[in-house]
Amino acid sequence: MSALFEFLLRMGDTTLILGHRLSEWCGHAPVLEEDIALANIALDLIGQTQLWLGLAGEVEGRGRTADNLAYLRDAAEFRNALIVERPNGDFGMTLMRQFLFDAWHVQQLKALTASSDARVAEIAAKALKEATYHLERSSDLVIRLGDGTDESHRRMQAALDELWPYAGELFLDDATDRALAQSGVAPPPSSLRARWDAIVQPALAQATLKPPESRFAHKGGRRGVHTEHLGYILAQMQFLQRAYPNAVW
């Protein structure tokens, strides 16, 4: 498996699984305005998935489409970061996950706009506009709810405590990352940590939330070792294509 293919799966699977998670809120969010906003973000992410996985199929050269990759792979072949498969929890948990992800996503996409691979740079430029708005929204809400009522503060702090150990995986380098960095396709994940901290830490401080001191990071998603949650997501997402192969809309 080429490093570039692997990288495209990591990008596309991460946006796909988070997009799916957010879509689970559709019709259930606390207010109509948030319901629509979450669905919009979900659709943005699914749209980006089509581009990343579409290119992945092209790079692989075995004739697989974005849909084939999304619907016909098993959990161990998925390369998404673990944080995006975390259950939605309450609204605060979903927002916190979104905020921690968005802050990484924006930095990653910014760096990718300078990729040595023009196709990657092009997708990143398009996705960056969407991600910039996502981050604006999620950081705003995290600050409001963190620095809100006693209950909203308590929920946001609990969400931060639970999700913090899953954020670290986004900044771990492996051999694939090093190969991609060498060829100028993508930045080493570790290089984004300082820029991520520069966004996340001041926002959390403003939200009166305290990140855990530990830097312990759950990891494995980016090489196909997932939590039990991914299987359930795929069961729901892939059911139709698995039960009725090649069914079309």
Partner 1 sequence: MSSEWPLWEVFIRGQHGLNHRHVGSLHAPDAALALKNARDVYTRRNEGVSIWVVKSNDITASSPSDKGPLFEPANSKIYRHPTFYDIPDDVGRM
Residues within the interface to partner 1 (CB under 8 A):
30-33, 36-37, 40, 133, 136-137, 140, 144
Minimum separation from the CB atom of position 44 to partner 1 (A): 11
**Least distance between partner 1 and beta carbon 248 (Å):** 25
Name the 3-class secondary structure at 166.
helix
Residue type, position 66, single letter: A
Query: Based on CB atoms, which residue is closest to partner 1, 31 or 243?
Result: 31
Residues with Cβ < 8 Å from 43, sequence gap 6 or more?
A: 19
Q: Using the 8-state DSSP alphabet, how is residue 26 labeled?
A: T
Cα–Cα distance, 57 to 51 (Å, whole number): 10
Is-contact 103 135, C-beta < 8 A? Answer: yes
222 token code pair: 């980016």
Quote the least distance from Cβ 214 to partner 1, whole Å. Answer: 33
Q: How far is the CB of 91 from partner 1 (least distance, A)?
A: 10
User: Quick one: 77 or 140, whose CB is closer to partner 1?
Assistant: 140
- Sequence-distant (6+) residues with CB within 8 A of 249 are none
Between 34 and 60, CB nearer to partner 1:
34
Compare residues 32 and 248 and give the one whose CB is closer to partner 1. 32
